[in-house]
A and B are shown apart, each in its own frame.
Chain A
Amino acid sequence: MQEIPISHILFVSTALFFIGMYGLFTRRNMITMLMSIELILNSVNINFVVFNKYLYPEKLDGIFFTIFIIAIAAAEAAVAIAIIINLYRNHQSIDVKDAEEMKY
């Protein structure tokens, strides 16, 4: 049985990363930007698992990195959503353009 080359899987994760990057740059809705960040984190997870599987199949480091990334992403989403709710309460909007006074 011939195998899937590692470059194919890496291409999938690279494409997912740039789709997430494009969403992060072009969307103005904070929830959608947060979803793009989740996409980016998932592409990184795929990379970790693939390299663990193909290069060091007897180790487990990549899988543990992925588990910790998932845990940190959960914490990050909770805190970010709390921030978004607070911002919505003050501005009645979650558009990043409406939060401009946070720059100064």
Chain B
Amino acid sequence: MNITHVLFWFLSVLALFSALMVITSRNPVHSVLWLIVTFFAISGHYILLNAQFLAIVNIIVYAGAIMVLFLFVIMLMNLNKSTEPKKNRWLQWAGAIAGLCLLLVLVAALKDTEIKGQAAQVNEGEIGLIKNLGKELFSTYVVPFEISSILFLSAMVGAVVIGKASPNPSEGRA
């Protein structure tokens, strides 16, 4: 039981607990805040797996940008109160049981797998650092990189076009 194990168990429990809180809390603002906790735990997992750059990107992009966008929209729509109505209890139970059954099957399948090279080092090596990543990204992965820039441009244009106010004010605007 060294420090890596302690950190691993702590981060796992934190991630699972906060993910459960995301989907069970009635207030959307609380959901967003718990989701940020989940992202920090996942970033901790990335650091344990020696992918430091990915951990930083995860915090900056997810917890920094996307979650601020979510919070902004929730505040804009005045949803920061518990508006979620009570749902069909049977539907909830059916969803929980079906999901847990599939989880059980997958865990059983995982348990029997024998994977070679399991003893890979967790906490050493420098391959996840930014220098190696940058060299690889701009040589081997330069085409997907450029394609993703086109994707961002089209997503930006699409978001502006869709989110723009409709020119006809009689279409039921508030």
Contacts and interface: CB of A to CB of B under 8 A. Distances in A.
Contact of B156 (A28, A60, A78): A78
A3 B120 contact: yes
B16 A77 contact: no
Contacts of B58: 45, 70
A63 B134 CA distance: 12
Contacts, number: 218
Interface residues of A, number: 71
Contact of A70 (B57, B115, B159): B57
B85 interface: yes
A7 B38 contact: no
B148 A71 contact: yes
DSSP majority for the B interface? helix
- Contact-residue bracket for chain B: 35 or more
B165 A89 contact: yes
Interface string B114-143: 011111111001011000110011000100
Interface of B: 2, 4-5, 8, 12, 15-16, 19-20, 22-23, 28, 31-32, 35, 38-39, 42, 45-46, 48-51, 53-54, 57-58, 61-62, 65-66, 69-70, 73-74, 76-77, 79, 83-85, 87, 91-92, 95-96, 99-100, 102-103, 106-107, 110-111, 113, 115-122, 125, 127-128, 132-133, 136-137, 141, 144, 148, 151-152, 155-156, 158-160, 162-163, 165-166, 171-174
